[in-house]
Amino acid sequence: GVVAIDPASRELFAMAQRVAQTDATVLLTGESGVGKEVVARFIHRNSARKNGPFVAINCAAIPDSLLEATLFGYEKGAFTGATQAQPGKFEQAQDGSLLLDEVTEMPMSLQAKLLRVLQEREVERVGGKKPVPLNIRIIATSNRDMAEAVAKGVFREDLFYRLNVFPVGIPALRERREDILAIAHHFVVEHGGRLGRPGVSLTPTAETLLIAHHWPGNVRELENVIQRALILSTGPSIGPEHFKLPSATKPVFEAAPVASLLDVGKNTDNIKNLEREHILQTLAEVGGSRKLTIERLGISERTLRYKLQQYRDEGYFKG
């Protein structure tokens, strides 16, 4: 199941439930770590294609040179090393759903080919001459501002409109604070069981800190924090000292009451300042190691690079 206690989440999954009943192409957008794949799988599970395959491909994780063959498949002898024919992700998703994760990272040369597949509903393998008809549902995700990517010329405008049939924006975790504890308890049970620590609970102070934290890495960061706390705690409960959050040692809000912490989510500028402070503080705490920073925050290397460039441009970061 999914955790949807906050009104923002309930609205999100009600919309996802409605679009699942159709075969419309869905474009999921939101920050890194908000749970775009969770929503994509929910749509698949609640659709008429639920008994078909759910195939996911991360367009950012596969080198450009391999992405075409991975997506579209290839015929025997299509290139050196192609000793036998191989169906691509499109064909593997036949009668089911295909998730194109981080679609904005796809090179322009492949975007044209993807557009043709979406228009014609058929795919041609690399080195092949016979198109294969497709019966699949496409779900795409991006953590970038796609309109901005189009304006910058790194993403095709015609492909954007072809994918943007039913856009769904997934709110950041700080924008659905009523979900934080429910998700945290879910991870305590899930990872506690896996680590041989069943029955562990969160102290009230720990819960207050989780609600107050602004979660730039979203659900992925929360999961990492809970896993780390389960490893560091030895007793029956997890306290704030086990989280190792920057705000646990140096509060961003000096002695601010919880009520005002919850109100912070309504102020976008304030949130951006807190996010920047949290990211730069974490980077400083790990001695400038980007690898440790992304592990601790639960964000991707690309997101960290993008944020640091932004802070550099704004004069907040000189690294």
Q: What is the largest CA-CA distance in the chain?
A: 68
Q: Would you say residue 36 has pLDDT above 80?
A: yes
| CATH code linked to domain 7-171 | 3.40.50.300
- Mean pLDDT for 105-115 is 92
Domain residue ranges in the chain: 7-171, 174-313
Q: Is the dihedral of CA 157, 120, 100, 20 positive or negative?
A: positive
In degrees and rounded to multiples of 5, residue 54 shows phi and psi of -115, 115
Q: Is the dihedral of CA 283, 30, 45, 86 positive or negative?
A: negative
Q: Would you say residue 264 has pLDDT above 50?
A: no
Query: What digits encode the pLDDT tens for the residues 191-248?
Result: 999 999 899 999 999 999 999 999 999 999 999 999 999 999 989 999 999 998 875 4
CATH architecture of 174-313: Orthogonal Bundle (1.10)
Rounded Cα gap, residues 216 and 233, in angstroms: 24
Q: CA nearest 126: which of 110, 108, 139? A: 110
Task: Let me know: does 293 contact 285? Beta carbons within 8 Å.
Answer: no
Query: Secondary structure of the chain: what % helix, strand, coil (to 5)?
Result: 50, 10, 35
Q: Is the dihedral of CA 296, 300, 303, 305 positive or negative?
A: positive
Percent of the chain residues topping a pLDDT of 90: 62
CA 93 from centroid of its chain's CA atoms: 21
Q: Would you say residue 87 has pLDDT above 80?
A: yes
The two three-digit tokens of residue 298, written as one number:
């639960």
